Structure 1
Amino acid sequence: MEAANIGLRVLLIDAGDTRRGGRGALHPPTLIVDPARHAPLDLTTRQGVGGTSWLWGGRCVAFQPADFEDRAHVPHGGWPIGYEDVAPWYAAAARHLDCGAASFRSGEPEWDGLTEVASSDLERWARQPRLGPRLGARVLAHPKVTTMLNSRLVDIAFDDEQSVSGLVIEHAGLRREVRAQRYVLAMGGLEVTRALLEVQRRRPSAFGRVDGPLGRYYMGHATGTIADVVLTDPDRAADLDFVRDEHDTYVRRRFTLLPEAQRKHRVLNTSFYLDNPHFYEHGHRNGTLSAVFLGIAFAPLGRAILAEGIRLRHIGSAPRHTGAHIANILRQPWRVAVDLLGILRRRYLSAVRKPGFILRSAGGRYALHYHGEQLPNPDSRLRITAADDGTEILEVDFRYLDEDIDSLLRSHDVLDTELRAAGIGRLEYHHEDPAARRAELWEQAADGYHSIGTTRMSDDPARGVVDGDCRVHGVGNLYITSSSVLPISAEANPTFVVAALAVRLAHHLAGLYAPEPSPAVGLAGEGDGVPILHPGIPVVQRSWEARRTTGLRPLWGR
């Protein structure tokens, strides 16, 4: 969208269509080495217009200046660009994602007495997280954008080692080559890595050579809860609740460790926020939580209102203790009815979707949810291997390190010490025994939703796949915009910073084009520059005459 708004002519190729979050077949099939650590791909990825935003909760969190700095306790970290190279594009990213202003610090003061922890960092939330019906519809209607749907990328053709000559796409069993001046792979972290790994099997010297950086350093986040936070003044929970701000979007304050504290305690970037007790734990004796649990435990209803991965996390494992939950509801049925109507109205019937709800606790006790950075690990990786029958398989070997768990333990201790010293509250762990806390963290260590690092950005081709402009090393006209280019995971989920990098890349591409006209985008073999698409390939096509005057021809490929 940004490229088209600048004036570039864009051909968008997508393996899916405009239907709601298609799954599609995986090419090649996928093997998750440790299913306890990585969610199944049918819960984490979607194709088509809107992509995985069909599963996205809408959280927008910016990377901060410290996230771009080299840290001695983070091996394999570091960026070839700085905060000042990305931050100017935050406002445009916020506009495209519809999360209000690019403001990520609350105007309210920090809580008194905190010296190593901040209480004013914000996460913003998209007004409506499913981007297909809104942003996607504007893309499809844009006069500078042509879209080819149900067309899967199967190969990248090269003129020589330094230049892409075209993308080979497949539709309804037919293959054709699409040509442009420049190509951008905007496919999601796993898919873009898989595509390049398949090319590398045929061209072993490509992308840093086999067993080079491509596919390595696979990261996500560690998230869960191992403690409750008890606030001395229960009313202070209002400061950490979802609020609708002056930009008519929801924001939430969190606890975050200051950069100086991260360096002092040698911990990774970690944030904490208030949460409800687990829905499935009937011992909370809260009728509203039990009613929500029973609703989402009924699969047809739960899948209609929540992404399946989130639903499964909230309902826990069997047994469900349905009777105990019904008893909770019957204690205060009218209170439950009022709460549920409010949740439904603000979350599902409002133009500005409330991302969640926190039921107030008279005693000031809340679950404390952590969201922690993961270290770059070259042995956490994707690779293409052969099954016993010779079939190619995408092997997902996603790993955490002991250092990831150590960091979470120390980060909790820092927050607990700060809250107690300031008289604000305290943490109460699920387990007093440190070994049991560590075991609980390991039990919760799982991701697969934030696919980071496998085509990482670096100024050294031996350590990364793309440079600071997201251009593939050694290839003059191939770019990647994806969470996979991030060299670290930080504590933020990657959506917002990836959007900012995509906007930055669009402007970079615009600066590469000469003003004189050049032939229009089309399929290989055309002689007059006018696109003649293969019969049967669905295309949204508008105003080719107007496009011929721009001379600007990027191709954003899926």
Structure 2
Amino acid sequence: MKCASRGLSAVVLESGSSEGASRKETGLGAVEIVTPHHAAAELIRAQGIGGTSRLWGGRCVALDDIDFERRDHVPFSGWPIPHAEIAAYYDEALTFLGCGASAGMWPDEPSKAGGDIDTAMLERWSAAPDIRRLHGASLRASPNVRIYADRTVAGIRLNAEGERATALTVKSRSGHSVEVEAKSFVLAAGGLENARLLLAAQRDWPQKFGGPDGPLGRFYCGHLTGYLAAVRFKDQSFARDLWYKRNRNGSHLRRRLALSHHAQLEHRLLNAAFWLDSFSVADPAHGSGALSLLYVGLSMLGLHPRLGSGMAPSPTEPQSRSYGLHLSNVRSDPKLITGMLHVLSQLVRNRLGQKMFALFNPGNRHLLRYHAEQAPNPDSRVQLGEWQVGSPPGLRVDFRIHPQDIESVVRSHEILDSWLQEQGIGRLDFLADPEDRSQIVLNQALDGYHQIGLTRMSEDPTDGVVDRDCRVHGTANLFVAGSSVFPTAGQANPTLPAVALALKLGDFLCKLP
């Protein structure tokens, strides 16, 4: 869209339908996953206009300056560009993603700040995360955009010297094959498919993309996420600083807690962020008489499934035992009436039965969700699998979790706990004893959605696949878009910076002769 708005002619080749994204895959090669920590292929890919935005929850978070630095304690870290080059496009990316520009959003700082924890970080939520619905009409109306659906890119043709892409081999659903020529080519198929196409081309050009033992398809990383603790606040003030707010355009935003730049370097930790989640109303561990009374009442009427179980794990107590604990919460809550009025106001405001983000707990106890960086690891990789004539090559996914990833998550929680107590805010209630915490984090480790690092950006062609402009090293007119070019993952969900980087790439393409 950026190129088309500047007068360039753009052709979009979409493997799926023009009617919207679908998880029903056609034309793509098989994916063999050899690790328990990677989600199944059908859960992480969606074909069709708009792609995986159909699966996207709408969360938008900026990267941090430290993510771009070379850190001694993080192997293979550092970007060839500063954060400022991407940050310059954040406002445009937020608008494109349906969040509205960031100016004027939530100017007040929280009541506590400083030290090992950064409290100023914002996450914004798109009011319209389905990109096809948001921008489909504009795409169809543009005289400079041509969309060909049900067309799968099967290969990349290079010139005799291997210095330029000359065409893409494209197959229709019926199996008919054509060559599509262009001035410039951009692979924007998601990390796994970007890597598959380049790995397939490398079979014909073994020394391209860093060679057979080079960086292509390696350094596969994402984020560790899950629950290791709950937060017990002394009062509601700081918790409310971290809770959801509604923006003027109807989208939501809230604050995250994160390890500060100083803390990461001093304690030699990977980046990590934390946010509040609701306990299921069915789980008496929330400690709120108001939520317990709500659950018991709705349960008796058979209506509690309409409220859902929130974003948190379901309770493990038998229902008979659970009712007793709920009634204990009700009896021991000195602010039961006030809390109940607050809960009811949330339900009315969010219109019971429609999508709700979460219920704020008047009992001052919330689950703590972590979202943590993985260190780049060259042994975490994808490779081509079986290749049958007439079909795309298979892909073998070996997505690895390193002990450093696990240890950093556990230590980050300990630092946050100390900070909460030092600031007089509250404390963490860990969900496991110290000797079991690493295993709890490992058991929850699962990604494959963010697909970072497979075509990483670098200054030196031996260290990465694309240069600072997302151009494939040694190939003048072949580019890659998406989070697969990120050298490191940071703590942020990758959608916002990936779109910002795509907008930056669009500007670069428009300036080419």
TM-score if structure 2 supplies the norm length?
A: 0.87
Partner in structure 2 of residue 408 of structure 1: 409
Structure 1 residues 283 and 238 mapped into 2: Cα distance closer, same or farther (>3 Å)?
Answer: closer
Instruction: Tell me if structure 2 keeps the 8 A contact 1:294–1:325.
Output: no
- 2:75 and 2:110 map into 1 onto residues whose CA distance is 32
Contact 1:2/1:506 (8 A) holds in 2: yes
CA distance in 1, matches of 2:303, 2:226: 19
| Residue 202 (str. 1) matches residue 240 (str. 2) | no
**Which of residues 218, 221, 226 in structure 2 aligns to 1:219?**
221
Distance 1:170 1:324 in 2: 59
Task: Check whether the contact 2:113–2:119 (CA below 8 A) recurs between aligned residues.
Answer: no
Q: Which residue of 2 aligns with 1:112?
A: 112
Helix, strand or coil: the match of 2:99? coil
Corresponding residue pairs, total: 489
Partner in structure 1 of residue 88 of structure 2: 88
Distance verdict in 2 for CA 1:245–1:153, change over 3 Å: same
Q: Percent identity?
A: 38
C-alpha distance after superposition, 1:47-99 (max 9, x if no partner): 11110000101010111222211111111011111112212111211121121
**Do the aligned partners of residues 346 and 72 (structure 1) sit closer, same or farther apart at CA in structure 2, a change above 3 Å counting?**
farther
Return the alpha-carbon distance in structure 2 between the equivalents of residues 384 and 296 of structure 1: 45
Code of the aligned partner of 2:394? I
Q: Do structure 1's residue 357 and structure 2's residue 367 form an aligned pair? A: no
Change (3 A) 1:227 1:149: same
Q: Is the 8 A contact 1:106 1:253 kept in 2?
A: no
How far 1:478 sits from its partner (Å)? 0.3
| Bigger mean CA deviation after superposition, 502-511 or 139-148 | 139-148
Shift of 1:404: 0.6
| Normalised TM-score (structure 1) | 0.80
Residue equivalent to 2:397: 396
Question: SS where residue 209 of structure 2 aligns?
Answer: coil
Structure 1: which amino acid aligns with 2:476?
Answer: G
Shift of 1:246: 4.5
Match of residue 524 from structure 1 = none
Stretch of structure 1 that moved more, 286-295 or 451-460: 286-295
- Paired residue type of 1:394: L
- Give secondary structure in 1 for the equivalent of 2:180: strand
Distance, in Å, in 2 between the alignment partners of 1:166 and 1:20 is 26
Partner of 2:333: none
For 2:27 and 2:344, how far apart are their aligned partners in 1?
43
1:442 Cα offset (Å) = 0.9
- Cα deviation, residue 182, structure 1: 0.5
- Secondary structure of 1:157's aligned partner: strand
1:105 deviation in Å? Answer: 7.9
Match of 2:28 in 1: 27
- Per the TM alignment, residue 347 of structure 1 is displaced from its structure 2 partner at its CA by 5.4
Pair 337,173 (structure 1): closer, same or farther in 2 beyond 3 Å = farther
* In 2, Cα distance between equivalents of 1:384 and 1:510: 34
Which residue number in structure 1 is paired with residue 466 of structure 2? 466
Cα 1:471–1:75, aligned 2, differ >3 Å: closer, same or farther?
same
The 1:378/1:511 distance shift into structure 2, 3 A limit, reads same
1:104–1:404 distance in 2 versus 1, CA, 3 Å: farther
Q: Which residue identity is paired with 1:495?
A: T
In structure 1, the partner of 2:142 is: 142
Return the offset for 1:247: 5.5
Superposition RMSD in Å: 3.2
- CA offsets 1:383-411 (integer angstroms, 9 cap, x no match): 11239999953111101111011111111
Unaligned stretches of 5+ residues in structure 1: 303-310, 349-353, 514-558
Task: State whether structure 2 residue 458 is matched by structure 1 residue 425.
Answer: no
- What are the equivalent positions in structure 2 for 1:30-69 lying under 5 Å apart? 30-34=31-35, 36-69=36-69
For the 8 Å contact 1:241–1:358, the answer to whether it is kept is no
Deviates more, 1:227-236 or 1:255-264: 227-236
* Cα distance, 1:203 vs structure 2: 2.7
Show CA shifts across 1:460-517 (max 9, x none). 111100000000011111000011000000000110001011100111011113xxxx
The answer to whether the Cα contact below 8 Å between 2:111 and 2:238 also exists between their aligned partners in 1 is no
Deviations 1:276-304 (A, max 9, x none): 1257757657455988984598xxxx9xx
Cα pair 1:28 1:394 within 8 Å, conserved: yes
**Segment of structure 1 superposing worse, 493-502 or 273-282:** 273-282
Match of 1:369 in 2: 369
The aligned residue for residue 548 of structure 1 is none
How far 1:8 moved relative to its partner? 1.2
Task: Show the counterpart of 1:265.
Answer: 267
Q: Find the aligned partners of 1:322 and 1:192 in 2 and give their Cα distance.
A: 48
Aligned CA distance change for structure 1 residues 103 and 190 (closer, same or farther; 3 Å):
farther
